[in-house]
Chains A and B, each alone.
Chain A
């Protein structure tokens, strides 16, 4: 069975500093991988996705993520954080053998941005 682990429940970062959020997955093959962001009281917004090909993917709002097969990881990064990046971030996995495409999410990482 597939699973997703986000080791960091909470991260505090200063505005302008870099940010890295960790995501590890367990799956028998290369899954579809996603990062979503959720602001308080809101739904989830897709930041970026990985299906195949180039292992470094670019997303919206200046985010990027790198797929590392050997480490079963898909970490999210941003070089310089803005106060508006304060939110909860979810990594999600979709099985490539699952034609229905349902997603399994990690528990999320809450990001706090300090001045």
Chain B
């Protein structure tokens, strides 16, 4: 399977804990996106990478959120001091710069208790 891979699929944590999610894009894709989806809503853009450079961050991404893509391949999204409002599905997508078509992973569902 050469699609976008996300790990873990589910994460349950207690409020105040830190969590980290991983995304492995399609291998030749140089663009990588993170979105957040809450119940009953469409995905909302969080941040975007082109190769290893983080080029845009949404206002949704508070200081507790940080994303990296250290070698331009996989990416991690860390949430520090989680709050109940962080409970959501976190989706990763990747694309080729020239194509503008995003392919999504299955997502990581975060539940903050």
Contacts and interface: CB of A to CB of B under 8 A. Distances in A.
Interface of A: 4, 32, 34, 36, 41-46, 49, 51, 90, 92, 94, 100-108
B45 A102 contact: yes
Interface on chain B toward A: helix, strand, loop, or mixed SS? strand
Contacts of A46: 101-103
Contact of A100 (B6, B43, B56): B56
A100 B55 contact: yes
A107 B48 CA distance: 21
Interface on chain A toward B: helix, strand, loop, or mixed SS? strand
B25 interface: no
B100 interface: yes
Given A43-B4, A100-B50, A102-B56, A107 B42 contact: yes
Contact of B44 (A36, A49, A101, A105): A105
Q: How large is the interface on B (under 10, 10 to 19, 20 to 34, 35 or more residues)?
A: 20 to 34
Nearest to B49: A100
A20 B15 CA distance: 42
B104 A107 contact: no
A101 B102 contact: yes
Contacts of A107: 40-42
